[in-house]
Structure 1
Amino acid sequence: MSLSADSPITILYVDDEPGLLIIGKTHLEKSGNLKVEACESALDAIKLLKIQSYDAIISDFRMPKCDGISFLKYLRKRGDETPFIILTGKGREDVVIDALNNGADFYIEKGGDLKAQFAELINIIRYAVAKRRSEEALRESEERYRNVVEDQTELICRFSADGTVIFANDAYCRYFGVPCEDIIGRRFKPQIHPDDREAVTRLFASFSPDKLLESIDQRTIAPDGSILWQRWDTRAIFDENGVIREFQSVGRDITDRKQAEQALIESERQYRSLFESMHDGYAQFRLPQEDDGSASAPRIININPAFEQITGLAREDIIHKTLQEVLRGTDLRWGPECLKTTETGEPQVFEITLDDPVRFFEVSVYSPRAGECAILFHDITEKKKRDEEMKQSLREKEILLKEIHHRVKNNMQVISSLLMLQKETIPDPKMRELFSQSESRVYSIALVHEKLYQSENLSRIEYGEYLSMMGDYILSSRQVKSGTVALDIHAPGIYLSIDKAVPLSLITNELMTNSLKHAFPNGRKGTIRIVVERKEDTIIYRFSDDGIGFPADLDYGNTQTLGMQLVVSLVNQLLGTITLSREKGTAFEIVFPVDPDGEESGGSYEEKVDQNAGLQNK
């Protein structure tokens, strides 16, 4: 129960004589702040105490059924420490001794001057209650203090000058892994790291009445051998003679902080080592603020040795100087870019050339934080040389490939011409037709090589243009009269590599030759349409005519004619599929895969060389 020193004093007065109860109650309550509840037996008093508490109890010794001593024993046994004053008769020292031994606070002998007796009783009551209230307040204060201290995560302890621990909170005991009962009252000392023992000894020797508080970061060794760091704030308490009475220490674990600091130191060491040894030149600028808040010219705040070597600018000559001062009188031309990045924060990358000797650098300018600019010089001289060598090598290979395609085309044309000459000497029409077919096939291959060596890109040809030339040649070689069979070709933006173009060209030759021979008899007019499309990684080739169509009983997959056998074989070579539609003439659809990077739109020679060299034209 929380007690206030100024609150009224409540008293339970127990006596089996009603007259004395009335007199006692009257005298006591006249004192002002005493409130008395009268009770004629100890048993009735016990009932009242179960529902109400009092500041003090006055009880007569001699009472029927339960005397004052028995009443007192009952209360103390159940833990009731309410101040107890027992009233005894004259000459009953034995009762007094028994009462005091069982926990009575005071006793009053009845008889004599009644007024003096009650005055003494009032003084005793007030003293006993004040003492009880002070003790209760002290207990509550100590309890609050203990609750606060025990709930702290800090390590709190008190110890005497000889090292005996007076107090340690739970956090302290848990931290060092020792039960509190094995610490308090003993000379417990954590295992201090050997490197810190001298500093700890000096700290405790430094206290004086003029120097009461000291702090230290120290290490202790945990039972598992690990190193723990603590920050300790220790206060020395001196007595009136200037002698240390005790120490009070509050500590907290700082192991994580110390490890982070050590990691930062190591990181900075590694960074500094990298910064000093890196081959790329590095310089950092800062944009100072003027007194009016405006930004002044950027000043160099840091450079590495590589920067000095690349630019020829010595560290002691340029640190803390403005960019304009540094660049004045030099052939360095990266000042505007650095200024722009410092002002806008936008990174920039460009190339510069330095003379004597000629060196090429890729310069990256970026802003690591507001008001700062960093510039990085990466030497690309060797890369430039390799790129130029690669370009030259590609030029030479291009010339060689063009020459090869040119010679292959010429040789194929020679073969085609020989076949044509030989055909003219053969009287048999069927034999001449066979030679014509061979001549056309050879020409279709020769035309692919011709387009390749004429193309800017030697790895692929523009197939729509090729089909137009091939179609015109076949119409001419077959002596198709103008206006009878029209040729409609649609292949926009289709580029094919040689390993796809040659088989598809032979297929086109066979299908077109077959249409001209069979689809338009007796001078029938019509149209041959060729459509080539690309869908993702697939080429769709459609060949159709509006002639009389394939015979219904003819299986093109099992035909004995060389032309259709070639078509089926070449489709397999392309890893494709072929389907035939006989509606409204003849329509073949061939679908085959292409390399995602192999058949694309073409590009100029320089673009391809630069792509192969891993460069971008600026």
Structure 2
Amino acid sequence: MNIKNIVTKYLLRYESIIWLASIIILLSWPQLFHNLFTQIGNPNSRFNFWFDDFGLLHISLDILLGFANLAITLFIALFVIRAGKDLPFPRLFLVFSLCTASNSAIHFMNVWSVSIYYPWLFGLIKLIAAVANVIMVILLPIIGPRALALIKNATLLKSTKANLQTTNRALEGQILERMQAEEELIRTQNELELRVIERTAQLEKMNKKLLEEIKEKNKAEAALKDSETLFRQLAENIRDVFFIMEPENQKINYLSPTYEQVWGHSLKSAYENPRSLFEHIHPDDKNNVNDILRVSKRSGVLTNSYRIIRPDGKIKWVRVRAFPILDENEKLNRIAGVAEDITISKQYEQRLESSLREKEILLKEIHHRVKNNLQIISSLLNLQSKFVTDQRTLEIFREGRNRIKTMALIHEKLYGPKDFTRINFAEYLNELFSFLLSAYKFDSQKISFKIEIENVYLDIDQALTLGLIVNELITNSIKYAFPNGLEGQLKISMSKNGNNNLLRVYDNGIGIPPEIDIGKTDTLGLQLVQMFVEQIGGTIELKRGKGTEYLIVFLN
């Protein structure tokens, strides 16, 4: 360890002791406080000295230096106070401020001593200044290199600070970028979390839906299995033959066991040779079955009855009802259907048709015989009337013959067509009117006949009753409406009004006298009309005016 380090070490360590020792020496000086403010010398002589030209210069400089040192002292004190603990070498600044303060006091004492001179006080101040300056001189070589090092360090610190600022700005930029990246990462993470939540919700929903679909599928499979079991039980225990087949591949998917009872062949042979279902068809029915099958592929309908030939030679009738099963492309995939053994029904049907033909022949014969018998009766009445000379009696015979002819026309109309229960009422009225004109020897050129009836078909009871009613009304019009060869018109119309039929018989003749009441008449013809109208559950109304009009209303 060199002397410099030793001095520095001990001086800095014992600096306060040096100051304390100096103060103790001063205070222990016996005459110090006694003579401290003792005035020595003649102030007037010093006053005269200081106030010449040279003295004024000294006074001015001392005042200026005093204030300058005082300002330095105050500046150092303010600097030390503001720097606080961060100030390096605080003792150096303290000693330096003590030097400037004592120097300021010396300069002010020089000015003060112009008028009053205190040698002891002046000496004490100089002693303090001397001690402070000595310590300052000792400290400067020691602390100076350190201060220079601090300056270098400050320059380095400034450079480092600049570098740090640059680095700091770069770091701030990186931090900002990092923060932005973190914010973007957080935003992306939030979006991902949100998407994950949404996707999780979707997956949960899809999973739930999938579970429901699986449950539904399991239920459907169970239901299908039950349905298949039920179908097999049903198909195997009923008399009809169920079948499912693929026509394009000529393959049978299912054929019920009843096939063996109806066709007389084994199921195995049918599965091995699906064409055998068509090979067993009666030759006369094969073309018809093939036509129906082609139609079914287009229209989706297959209903047909045909005969099959069993191995024992017996012939059976079957009725097939089938429908197509389409794939997702609307193309024919399979055909499903049922074949019913209708052999017994066909036998009954044939017997019924035979019986019906026999009855038709019989009914035709009956109508023919009734018509012939009525013709015979009419001819007998005509022959009998030739021996009658009374005109009234002759008229009665004629009216009776006309009524018989009216009924005979009904049976004649029923004899011809295939329908033995209904007749065309318009055609019947035309023939009836022609007969009545010829019977009463009227000129058809003078009396015109008009029928406004569409092709209305009536059953035999209604036609017979209405024919007799019209016969009586037309007979009255021909006999009484057109006297002395008067020309006129007869009109018959029939229409529907809801559930009722309206029959109108009209002539434009002279009309019926007002004293005749159709409901209380004593003539046979109008009495028969009233009776026949009641028989069909209808009503009749007589309208007088220009001619005569009968309105008959009856149910359909």
TM-score for both structures, normalised by structure 1: 0.49
- 2:358 is the alignment partner of 1:396: yes
* Equivalent of 2:307 in 309, 332, 353: 353
Q: Is the 8 A contact 1:337 1:348 kept in 2?
A: no
The residue type paired with residue 361 of structure 1 is V
Aligned to 2:255: 303
Q: Distance in 1 between matches of 2:279 and 2:516?
A: 88
Aligned to 2:455: 493
Which of the pair has more CA radius of gyration?
Answer: 2
Cα distance in 2 for residues equivalent to 1:353 and 1:329: 9
Q: CA deviation at 1:497?
A: 1.2
Q: Is the 8 A contact 1:580 1:586 kept in 2?
A: yes
The alpha-carbon deviation at position 317 of structure 1 amounts to 3.9
CA distance in structure 2 between the aligned counterparts of 1:281 and 1:261, rounded to whole angstroms: 25
Q: How does 1:533-548 map to 2 (within 5 A)?
A: 533-535=495-497, 537-548=499-510
Q: Aligned-pair distance for 1:585?
A: 0.6
Query: How many angstroms does 1:481 deviate by?
Result: 2.9
**Aligned residue runs from structure 1 range 164-243, under 5 A:** none
Q: Which residue pairs with 1:280 in the alignment? A: 240
Q: 1:435 to 1:365 in 2, by over 3 A?
A: same
Q: Secondary structure at the match of 2:514?
A: coil
Match of 2:417 among 448, 455, 458: 455
In 1, the alpha carbon distance for the partners of 2:342 and 2:530 equals 54
Looking at structure 2, the residues matched to 502 and 261 of structure 1 have their Cα atoms a distance apart, in angstroms, of 68
Q: Partners in 1 of 2:230 and 2:412 — Cα distance?
A: 61
Secondary structure of 1:425's partner? coil
- Residue 519 to residue 377, structure 1, CA distance change in 2 (3 Å): same
Q: Structure 1 residue 511 and structure 2 residue 473: aligned?
A: yes
Query: Which ranges in structure 2 are unaligned for 5 or more consecutive residues?
Result: 1-213, 328-332
* Aligned counterparts of 2:450 and 2:293: Cα–Cα separation in 1: 61
Deviations 1:522-554 (A, max 9, x none): 111111111223456432211111101111232
Is the alpha carbon distance of 1:565 and 1:280 closer, same or farther for their aligned partners in structure 2, counting shifts above 3 Å? Answer: same
Inter-CA distance 566–280: structure 2 relative to 1 (3 Å threshold):
same
Q: Deviations over 1:344-394 (max 9, x none)?
A: 681311222212211111122223453222242211211111111111111
In the TM superposition, residue 474 of structure 1 has moved relative to its aligned partner by 0.8
Decide which of 432, 439, 461 is 1:470's aligned counterpart: 432
Please state whether the residue corresponding to 1:397 is helix, strand or coil. Answer: helix
Residue 85 of structure 2 corresponds to none
Q: Which amino acid aligns with 2:308?
A: L
* Higher strand proportion: 1
In the other structure, the counterpart of 2:268 is 316
Whole-Å Cα distance in 1 between the matches of residues 281 and 467 of structure 2?
Answer: 63
Q: CA deviation at 1:301?
A: 2.0
Whole-angstrom CA distance in 1 between matches of 2:545 and 2:516: 14
* Cα pair 2:292 2:304 within 8 Å, conserved: no
SS at match of 1:359: strand
| Residues 478 and 348 of structure 1, relative CA distance in 2, 3 Å threshold | same
Deviation at 1:478? 0.6
Displacement of 1:299 after TM fit? 2.1
Partner of 2:319: 362
- Distance in structure 2 (CA, Å) of the matches to 1:342 and 1:415: 60
Equivalent residue for 2:548? 586
- Report how far residue 267 of structure 1 moved: 4.9
- Equivalence for 2:41: none
Is the CA contact 1:341–1:373 (under 8 Å) kept in the aligned structure 2? no
Equivalent pairs, count: 334
Q: What CA distance in whole angstroms lies between the structure 1 residues aligned with 2:506 and 2:459? A: 24
Distance 2:506 2:339 in 1: 62
TM-score of the aligned structures, taking structure 2 as reference length: 0.54
Q: CA deviation at 1:422?
A: 1.9
**How far off is 1:571 after superposition?**
0.6
* Distance apart, 1:518 and its partner CA: 1.1
Q: Which residue of 2 aligns with 1:611?
A: none
Identity of aligned pairs, percent?
Answer: 36
Verify the 8 A CA contact 1:462 1:495 in the aligned structure 2: yes
Task: Please state whether the residue corresponding to 1:480 is helix, strand or coil.
Answer: coil
Equivalent position amino acid for 2:464 in 1: V
Q: Which runs of 5+ in 1 are unaligned?
A: 1-253, 288-295, 595-618
Q: What does the per-residue CA deviation read over 1:257-308, in whole Å, with 9 as the maximum and x for residues that have no partner?
A: 9999887766544332222222222222247xxxxxxxx6242222111224
CA contact (8 A) 1:580 1:589 kept: yes
* Cα distance between partner residues in 2 of 1:330 and 1:528: 64
* Separation in structure 2 between the aligned mates of residue 435 and residue 341 of structure 1, nearest angstrom: 66
**Once the two structures are superposed, what CA deviation does each residue of 1:544-587 show, in whole Å capped at 9, x if it has no partner?**
11101111232222111111111111111111111122222111
CA RMSD in angstroms, aligned pairs only: 3.3
Between Structure 1 and Structure 2, the one with more helix by share is 2
SS at match of 1:367: strand
Aligned to 2:158: none
Secondary structure of 2:545 counterpart: coil
Post-superposition shift, 1:322?
7.6
Is the 1:342–1:373 contact (alpha carbons within 8 Å) kept by the matching residues of 2? no
Matched, 1:424 2:386: yes
Structure-2 separation of matches of 1:329 and 1:388: 23
Looking at structure 2, the residues matched to 514 and 378 of structure 1 have their Cα atoms a distance apart, in angstroms, of 63
In structure 1, C-alpha distance between the alignment counterparts of 2:413 and 2:292, rounded to whole Å: 50
Q: State how far apart, in whole Å, the 2-side matches of 1:372 and 1:491 are.
A: 54
- The residue type equivalent to 2:481 in the other structure is A
Structure 1 residues 338 and 430, CA gap change in structure 2 (3 angstroms):
closer
Change (3 A) 1:530 1:344: closer
Provide the residue aligned with 1:271 in structure 2.
231
SS in 2 for 1:587: strand
Structure 2 residue aligned with 1:108: none
Alignment of 1:1-16 (within 5 A): none
Relative to structure 1, is the Cα distance of residues 574 and 328 closer, same or farther in structure 2, using a 3 angstrom cutoff?
Answer: closer
Alignment-derived partner of residue 531 in structure 1: 493
- Residues 55-111 of structure 1 show CA distances to partners (whole Å, capped at 9, x for unaligned) of xxxxxxxxxxxxxxxxxxxxxxxxxxxxxxxxxxxxxxxxxxxxxxxxxxxxxxxxx
Given that 1:494 and 1:534 are in contact with CA atoms closer than 8 Å, whether structure 2 keeps it comes out as no
Are the counterparts in 1 of residues 236 and 256 from structure 2 also a CA contact under 8 Å?
Answer: yes
Aligned to 1:165: none
The answer to whether 1:381 aligns with 2:338 is no
